[in-house]
Amino acid sequence: MTKRSFLVALALAIGFAVVGFESGRFWAYLVYSVAIASIGALSLNILIGYCGQITFAQGALIGVGAYGAGIAGNAGWGAASLLVGAVCSALVSLLIGLPALRLRGLYFAISTLAAQFILNYLFKILQPLTNGVSGLVVKPLMLFGRPANDEQYAVICVGLLFLSWLVLTRIIQTNVGRAFLVVRESELVARGMGVDVARAKIQAFLLSGFFAGLCGGLIAFTSRLANPEAFEIGLSVDQTAMIIVGGLGSLGGSIIGAGFVTLLPEAIERLGELLPSADLISAFREMAFGILIILFLLLEPRGIVALARRIFARRGAAARTNLPDRASYGSGAISAQNGRKA
Amino acid sequence: MKKLTIAAALACAIAAAAPARAEITVCTWGTITGPDALVNGMTYGTRDYLEYLNQTQGGIAGNKLKVLMLDGRYKLDEELKIYRRCADQEQAVVINGWSTGASKALRDQIQEDGIPFISESFASEVLDPQKYPYTFIAGPTYEQQIIIALRDLAARGGKKVVLMYSDNEYGRGPVNVVRQSGVIEKLGLEVADLVEYRYDAQDVTAQMLRIKGKNPDLVYVQGSTPQLLVALRDAAKVGLPAKLFMGNLYNISPAIPEQLGAAADGFRAVQTYAFYGDDIPAMKEIEDYAKKNEVEKKDIYFIKGWLKGKVIAAAIGNAIKKNGGQVPADLKAFRKSVRDEMEALKDFDDGGITPPFTYADHQGSVQARIAEIKNGKYTPLGAWINAR
Amino acid sequence: MTLEVRDLSIRFGGVAAVTNMSLDVNAREIVGLIGPNGAGKTTFINCIAGVAQPDTGAASWNGRAILGLSPADLLRLGVARTFQSVVSLHDLTVLDLVKLGAAAHARRGRGFLSQFFGSDKAVDEEICESLLAPLNLVDVANSPIQTLSYGQRKSVDLARALACEPQLLYLDEPVAGLTFQEGLNMGAVIRSVRDRFGCSVVMVEHKMDVVMSTCDRIVVMAHGARIFEGTPAETQKDAEVRRVYLGDA
């Protein structure tokens, strides 16, 4: 992370926190919804985008964090409940990840699908803990002796998002994070390089689970209800859409994708209210995600971030050596002497 | 920078879409698209009644109504977002929400904001006039619907009842409350059996055989329409007639006679509002409205929506009257006054949708009739029965 | 400082990939392992690099048995390798990969907290000076590996292996896929690496010109067994080698 990207991120965080605090409850809600979704997307991107472990259990994992934090919060743990939720999710994530030490790719992905359904079933039947299908009503987080309001949540969530981004960005730049990327590309090569593949995977699951749990805890406190229906496979799909649209293997992209996926239905809804053909628009909203994901997978599998980089690179940014365009690189002098032999 | 551009673009889109403030805003959200959209007439009905007032009377006491109908998609986060939009951005005087979950998640917020809120839920846990003075529902709770069915059985001289319910909150909750209330014994009835089944069961033949052995006078099913379809199909298989079975308001669905044909004849359900097309004054209004507008939902749920529209309009009208014919300038005071007037509605005549009711208990009518499927059509039997 | 491999054999199903193969490598020696396609060269390297488990035989490095050890264990003993095919490693930069390689080394590997909180500046500079400069990689130190040419990626892989300061280095076809001139450059680089780092090298390679100019000693394999051993000059002269390998029938 360069100093510049740190300052830009800090400025954006402060900007969004101010927007969330000053523009009324509806905007505050949008700001913290995006911030919370972003923390979840960061967590999922660590696992899928960086470490290459495809999972469908993200929704349930967020749910574990929500219940963990909700139960701790109702027991009077206050803000520390967020940590409780995060730790619960990290441990469950580790359990979900254990098969990844044996299974790979699609086979592992299917085992996570099973985990998603099992966890969701547990939310429903562990009545004494979760209050079953009717959902756990969570006591509000107290702030300065009063229940926190939407505006305060906006500031808290943006702050936590910034911290999460900072921590993950640093971790990605240590050997722990580098090992994730090598494991993602080839476990064989990783092993040959002396990377402990099993340890890297376990670390990725713990890390990802921790932040999924933080996301869940914030959902529990802001929505005041931990409800099994909120943590079904649909949430996993939404989260996956965020990182595909934003950019696999890009932390900034996770946040952009989360904003996009969270705000798009609202934008379409408002657009529909302006236009006479409201029904058509609302039908389109249902399809929008599907179309969007297919388009991105076909045209730009690395998401908005890669798209932006390409546009950026084309606009005469060839001098930026850290982001070279593949095509322009190939035509340079180096390839003339390094041309690959068939 | 990219983040900023996107945020700015979205901000522009949303800001441009934000409409100008109308005189009196009422928000109603429901599942316009989503899993329980089958019964979303409840949302359409409210909007259409208030629009009807705009068209025929120029709104309420000369003040135009702005009615927003929004789609909560039966998603908690979506409903929470819509609530904030209605309460904050749209400055709604009354909000008509949807799910039990959202009503529970929002119940403290609603009190704090002081916004009269009508929930579409029939769950007793959102209903508590003391703790949640701003939350209202519109009709008998699930428990009360069971009690109405039991009263009907007792009146017909029946004795043995089987309670059958799905293994989720919607199934278990109300049945437990009724059993613990002692009302069954008071009515001189006897629970022949309790049958729990999986909420997504595809076959309940075994349960039906068990019920057959008990030889009950009534099988009350606390389940959704898809569950009723499975239950009635398997009942026919083992020779139990549909006549033995009764469901609640949500089992008044054309799907049951359509899919089961003659096997559904005799099935009964608790009917808490008049049917669409009944010969009642409210229906005259709807027909009048339908001359110039298209009524999209022609079912009992639309009728419930119409009823809520009437309640909202009456409360707003009375609040304006109390303020000397003027809309109170202070929104908070206006909301409070509307709440007070809503609670104060006495012997309210809703045009025959239900018997006249008093809204002090925050739920209005707790009466229902029993409707039976005759020749593929739900037909009301007998008079209104009071749950109390 | 010697590698000793004795009578190593491995079969895959019914196929004998390597049969009774023995090899000695002395300190600071570059040994070339050549042979036609399918001779079992890479399989042999995999056996002594901790990737494949031979059926019989023994191998020791400085007197320590190494068969059955994992690549990570071998790295700790100072045995590193490069890969035949260089995968594109996503967004990892040259420095990232080299630092990951260095992690296997006690002195260069840093604790997690010092990496998390500390600056990489000093480490980067040291790596540029000691590893990237000799391999002509300083200019691309911060470039993602996927943007580099094939030849550069091979050099990066070599730098990565060198980062843990190995005393024994296996090079699996370091020249394959490179142009003639690049190949000769790489040969020179390998010799200078040996001189600079003082390590022993075992290189598997097809390209005879590079092998002849780079290696001190050459071992020729065919059908999973050793058929000849000698200096480059002797190898070129040997009739049997010319028949099976150089194609002089």
Q: Searching chain A, which residue's CA lies closest to the CA of residue B89?
A: A26
pLDDT (0 to 100) of residue B21 = 35
Cβ of A338 and C112 within 8 Å? no
Q: Give the ranges where A232-277 is alpha helix by DSSP (H).
A: 233-246, 251-274
Q: Where are the domains of chain A?
A: 3-232
Q: Which of C111, B6, B36 is nearest to A245 (CA)?
A: B6
Chain B interface includes A159 (CB < 8 A): no
C134 and C235 inside one domain:
no
Q: Give the ranges where A98-224 is alpha helix by DSSP (H).
A: 105-125, 127-130, 150-172, 175-185, 187-192, 197-223
B147 and B112 inside one domain:
no
> Which residues in chain A land under pLDDT 70?
1, 276-283, 286, 315-342
Q: Is it the case that chain C and chain B have 3 or more CB pairs lying under 8 Å apart? A: no
Cβ of A24 and B108 within 8 Å? no
Cβ of A195 and C99 within 8 Å? no
Cβ of A338 and C101 within 8 Å? no
Give the C-alpha separation, A123 to B192, whole Å. 32
CA–CA min distance A229, chain B (Å): 8
DSSP B64: P
CA–CA min distance A326, chain C (Å): 6
pLDDT (0 to 100) of residue B53 = 96
pLDDT tens digits, one per residue of B196-205: 988 778 899 9
| Strand ranges across the sheet with B94-96 | B65-71, B24-30, B94-96, B117-118, B135-136
Of B76, B81, B106, which has the smallest distance from its Cβ to A227's Cβ?
A: B76
- What's the full length of chain C, in residues? 249
Chain C interface includes A172 (CB < 8 A): no
B12 and B123 inside one domain:
yes
Which of A168, A175, A183, A195 best probes binding to C when mutated, by most C CB atoms within 10 angstroms? A175
**C147: confidence class by pLDDT, cuts 50, 70, 90:** confident
CA–CA min distance A291, chain B (Å): 18
Task: Decide the pairing of beta strands C200-204 and C30-34.
Answer: parallel
pLDDT tens digits, one per residue of C73-132: 899 899 999 987 766 666 788 999 898 888 876 555 678 888 888 888 888 888 888 889
Cβ(A27)–Cβ(A155) below 8 Å: no
Look at residue C83 and tell me if it is in a domain: no
pLDDT tens digits, one per residue of B39-82: 889 999 999 999 999 999 999 998 999 999 999 988 889 999 99
Domain count, chain B: 2
Cβ(A166)–Cβ(A256) below 8 Å: no
Look at residue C192 and tell me if it is in a domain: yes
Compare C50 and B20 and report the one with higher pLDDT.
Answer: C50
* Average pLDDT value for chain C: 86
B153 and B250 inside one domain:
yes
Look at residue C220 and tell me if it is in a domain: yes
* Token pair 């900034």: residue: A252
Distance from chain centroid for Cα C8? 19
- What's the full length of chain B, in residues? 388
Chain C interface includes A340 (CB < 8 A): yes
**B22: confidence class by pLDDT, cuts 50, 70, 90:** very low
Chain B interface includes A153 (CB < 8 A): no
Residues of B in contact with A153 (CB under 8 A): none
Q: Searching chain C, which residue's CA lies closest to the CA of residue A197?
A: C72
pLDDT (0 to 100) of residue C107 = 59
Cβ-based neighbours of B360, under 8 Å, separated by 6 or more: B129, B343, B344, B346
Instruction: Give contacts of A 215-244 with B, CB under 8 A.
Output: 223-225, 227, 229-230
* Token pair 């202070």: residue: B330
Cβ of C100 and A171 within 8 Å? no
- Give the domain CATH number at B194: 3.40.50.2300
Burial readout A310-342 (b: 16 or more C-beta within 10 A, e: otherwise): beebeeeeeeeeeebbeeebeeeebeeebeeee
For residue C75, give the amino acid letter.
L
For residue C115, give the amino acid letter.
Q
Cβ of A266 and B14 within 8 Å? yes
Give the C-alpha separation, C20 to C31, whole Å. 18
Of C164, C181, C196, which residue is a domain's last?
Answer: C164
Give the C-alpha separation, B161 to B175, whole Å. 12
Instruction: Give contacts of A 191-220 with B, CB under 8 A.
Output: none
Residues of A in contact with C186 (CB under 8 A): none
Task: Decide the pairing of beta strands B160-166 and B218-222.
Answer: parallel
Q: Searching chain A, which residue's CA lies closest to the CA of residue B15?
A: A270
Cβ of A181 and C89 within 8 Å? yes
Look at residue B363 and tell me if it is in a domain: no
B118-139 average pLDDT score: 92
Question: Which domain does B263 fall in, by range?
Answer: 142-271+368-386
Compare A218 and B14 and report the one with higher pLDDT.
Answer: A218
* Token pair 């005087």: residue: B93
Of B71, B85, B101, which has the smallest distance from its Cβ to A26's Cβ?
A: B85
Residues of C in contact with A253 (CB under 8 A): none
pLDDT tens digits, one per residue of C170-214: 998 888 888 888 888 888 889 988 988 889 999 998 888 888 889
B84 and B149 inside one domain:
no
Cβ(C147)–Cβ(C139) below 8 Å: no
C187 and C249 inside one domain:
yes
Q: Searching chain B, which residue's CA lies closest to the CA of residue A305?
A: B2
Chain C interface includes A171 (CB < 8 A): yes
- What's the full length of chain A, in residues? 342
Residues of A in contact with B101 (CB under 8 A): 135, 225, 227, 229-230
Q: Searching chain A, which residue's CA lies closest to the CA of residue B35?
A: A229
Of C145, C164, C183, which residue is a domain's last?
Answer: C164
Look at residue B362 and tell me if it is in a domain: no
| Strand ranges across the sheet with C64-65 | C15-25, C3-12, C56-61, C64-65
* Residue C37 zone, left/alpha/beta (φ > 0; ψ -120 to 50; rest): beta
Phi, psi of B19 (to 5 degrees): -80, 165
Give the C-alpha separation, C226 to C224, whole Å. 7
pLDDT (0 to 100) of residue A238 = 92
pLDDT (0 to 100) of residue A260 = 92
B114 and B160 inside one domain:
no
Q: Which of A227, A95, A31 is nearest to B105 (CA)?
A: A227
B182 and B213 inside one domain:
yes
C41 and C158 inside one domain:
no
Q: Which of A79, A80, A57 is nearest to A209 (CA)?
A: A57
pLDDT tens digits, one per residue of B212-270: 999 999 999 998 888 899 999 999 999 999 999 999 999 998 889 989 988 899 999 99
Chain C interface includes A326 (CB < 8 A): yes
Angle A58-74/A233-246 helices, nearest 10 degrees? 120
Residues of B in contact with A33 (CB under 8 A): 77, 81
Percentage with pLDDT > 90 across chain B: 72
Cβ of C92 and A329 within 8 Å? no
Chain A interface includes B18 (CB < 8 A): yes
Question: Which domain does C73 fall in, by range?
Answer: 1-78+166-249
pLDDT (0 to 100) of residue A282 = 65
Give the C-alpha separation, A64 to A68, whole Å. 6
C160 and C171 inside one domain:
no
Q: Give the ranges where C111-217 is alpha helix by DSSP (H).
A: 112-117, 121-127, 150-162, 180-197, 208-214
Task: Decide the pairing of beta strands B135-136 and B160-166.
Answer: unpaired
Q: C200: number of CA atoms within 13 Å, CB side?
A: 17
CA–CA min distance A227, chain C (Å): 37
C74 and C184 inside one domain:
yes
C-beta neighbour count of B43 within 10 angstroms: 29
CA–CA min distance A334, chain C (Å): 8
Cβ of A283 and B33 within 8 Å? yes
Cβ of A185 and C87 within 8 Å? yes
Cβ of A335 and C149 within 8 Å? yes
Chain C interface includes A341 (CB < 8 A): yes
pLDDT (0 to 100) of residue A185 = 86
Phi, psi of B310 (to 5 degrees): -65, -40
B299 and B329 inside one domain:
yes
Q: Which of C13, C71, C15 is nearest to C39 (CA)?
A: C15
* Token pair 């054309």: residue: B254
Among A82-91, B329-338, C68-77, the minimum mean pLDDT is found in C68-77
Give the C-alpha separation, C204 to C89, whole Å. 23
C-beta neighbour count of B368 within 10 angstroms: 29
Which of B3, B40, B121, B170 best probes binding to A when mutated, by most A CB atoms within 10 angstroms? B3
Look at residue C84 and tell me if it is in a domain: no
Give the C-alpha separation, A111 to A109, whole Å. 5
B26 and B133 inside one domain:
yes
Instruction: Give contacts of B 163-192 with A, CB under 8 A.
Output: 168-170, 173
Q: Searching chain B, which residue's CA lies closest to the CA of residue A220?
A: B105
Give the C-alpha separation, C243 to C249, whole Å. 5
pLDDT at B207 over 80: yes
Domain count, chain C: 2
B191 and B308 inside one domain:
no
Cβ of C99 and A175 within 8 Å? yes
Cβ of A267 and B10 within 8 Å? yes
Cβ(C187)–Cβ(C159) below 8 Å: no
pLDDT at B180 over 60: yes
Q: Searching chain A, which residue's CA lies closest to the CA of residue C142?
A: A322
Look at residue B189 and tell me if it is in a domain: yes
Which of A14, A27, A121, A134 best probes binding to B when mutated, by most B CB atoms within 10 angstroms? A134
B18 and B114 inside one domain:
yes
Establish, for the pair of chains A and B, how many residue pairs have beta carbons separated by less than 8 Å. 101
| Strand ranges across the sheet with B190-197 | B190-197, B160-166, B218-222, B245-247, B268-271, B367-374, B377-386
C113 and C236 inside one domain:
no
Chain B interface includes A260 (CB < 8 A): yes
Of C147, C164, C181, which residue is a domain's last?
Answer: C164
Chain C interface includes A146 (CB < 8 A): no
B235 and B285 inside one domain:
no
C54 and C102 inside one domain:
no
Which of A19, A25, A310 best probes binding to B when mutated, by most B CB atoms within 10 angstroms? A25
Q: Which of A178, A212, A256 is nearest to A97 (CA)?
A: A212
Cβ of A282 and B32 within 8 Å? yes
Of B84, B101, B104, which has the smallest distance from its Cβ to A26's Cβ?
A: B84
Instruction: Give contacts of A 289-308 with B, CB under 8 A.
Output: 304-305, 308
Give the C-alpha separation, B310 to B364, whole Å. 12
pLDDT (0 to 100) of residue C106 = 59
